[in-house]
Amino acid sequence: MRRSEFTVTADHHQFLVYSGNSPVITAASAGDTGDGLVAVSDGGLRIVTGTNYGPLAVRVELHNNEPPPPTAEWTEVSEVSFRVRVGPMEVGTLMDGPVPDGPDLAFAGTGWYRIRIAARGRDEASGGSESPTGPLFEHYVIAVWRAPRVPALSSRRSDRTGRAFRREPLGEKLDEAVEGPARDGFHTLVGLLRSGAATAVPGRTRIGLESLARSQPETVTSLLHNGFFWPGWLGGAGHHRAGEWTSTLVTAEDGLGIAGKAAFGIGGVVTSWDYRRLTEPSQDDPFPRFEECLPEPSVVDIGWVSVEGGTRVKLRHENLPELLGPAVTDLWRYYLARLVRHCKTGTWGDHPWDDARRTGGRPQASRRPAG
């Protein structure tokens, strides 16, 4: 057995195994997450990661025969068959191509190979850091051997990241008294933002809410001070870099989202809050771009203090267009309940507008927020 260990950078929740067959990313495969760990196309493999952007530890093993199954700490394990028509076959990143001096997985020339991918640490990494200190927390083993083609096999499925990418329910739903108004408010908000009516009525409003998390303040701080937490809390996909964050409101394809720039302090966070939409290409403006939906960003101020029984979380949302006030208020009640649930369980439930996405349907006003 020949072994190589190296670091790969995740980009858009993935890294790749390139082959010489054809480009690894095509229009048909660009959004494919396969079984939640690996997706196969004619050009290679896409391996799905918990880390959005950041380093991963990868070990490649080249075997003469099928190796023993991975040990119990590997939470997701999948096997696929892949035919190499043109070599080499190399591990790499989305933007930078194959890893320099990396091993050739097609070690025996062209033909069929069996590839087993084992992953651990994806859940820990999904809310982590772009530059984690100490040992990397997301690890992969890619074991390869020559074998005839057989059906793909997912032999282990036990992390939350895999469930999310497989569109499976992630946890218990919140009470319908919270989710019902949030569902209605979400569709109202999407309609106002899409139509441009969000700022048609002059005037500004202010939202003030509070909630009790039956957790220590350190738990709340660890979440709200982590910019990678915000996309999953508010919507799904998104990013955080240097205090700036985004979260999809519906899907990346629908082009509606939230964006802000946050300042993190002791026991609090203050962030700008703007809704944005993707423009439609036209003859005068042929390239889609994001434009702000509000004349000026609103401001969200969240603070938390220790109280008997847990942590009191107080929220103020200021300078919000008056027409958006009722819908956003219902959404903030839901977001705060979602935060409280996550403090207690460490897991997400689906958003109340996610059902249509998971079943392939489409709700009246939109599709869903990713994740």
pLDDT in tens, 252-293: 557 889 999 999 999 999 999 999 988 877 777 777 778 888
30 phi and psi, to 5 degrees? -60, -35
Evaluate if residue 331 carries a pLDDT over 70. yes
Q: What are the helix (H) ranges across the chain?
A: 122-125, 160-165, 176-195, 217-224, 229-234, 325-345, 355-359
Q: Higher-confidence residue: 214 or 346?
A: 214
Provide the pairing of β-strand 76-84 with 14-19. Answer: unpaired
User: Residue 249: what pLDDT?
Assistant: 84
Q: pLDDT tens-digit profile of 75-133?
A: 999 999 999 999 899 999 988 889 998 999 999 999 999 999 999 988 876 544 444 44
- DSSP code of residue 324: G
Evaluate if residue 360 carries a pLDDT over 60. no
User: Residue 252: what pLDDT?
Assistant: 56
User: Residue 255: what pLDDT?
Assistant: 80
pLDDT band at residue 29 under the 50/70/90 scheme: low
Q: pLDDT tens-digit profile of 209-253?
A: 999 999 999 999 999 998 878 888 998 677 777 888 888 887 655
Q: pLDDT tens-digit profile of 50-75?
A: 887 788 999 999 999 999 999 999 99
Evaluate if residue 349 carries a pLDDT over 90. no
Q: pLDDT tens-digit profile of 141-191?
A: 999 999 999 999 999 998 888 887 887 776 678 899 999 999 999 999 999
User: Residue 285: what pLDDT?
Assistant: 74
Strand partners, 40: 45
- For the chain, counts of helices (H) and of strands (E): 7, 19
Give how far the C-alpha of residue 214 lies from the chain's centroid of Cα atoms, to the nearest Å.
26
User: Residue 264: what pLDDT?
Assistant: 93
Evaluate if residue 344 carries a pLDDT over 90. no
User: Residue 133: what pLDDT?
Assistant: 45
User: Residue 336: what pLDDT?
Assistant: 97
Does this model's pTM top 0.75? My answer is no
Evaluate if residue 36 carries a pLDDT over 90. yes
Rounded average pLDDT over 35-47 = 93
User: Residue 129: what pLDDT?
Assistant: 41
Q: Are 106 and 89 in contact (CB under 8 A)?
A: yes
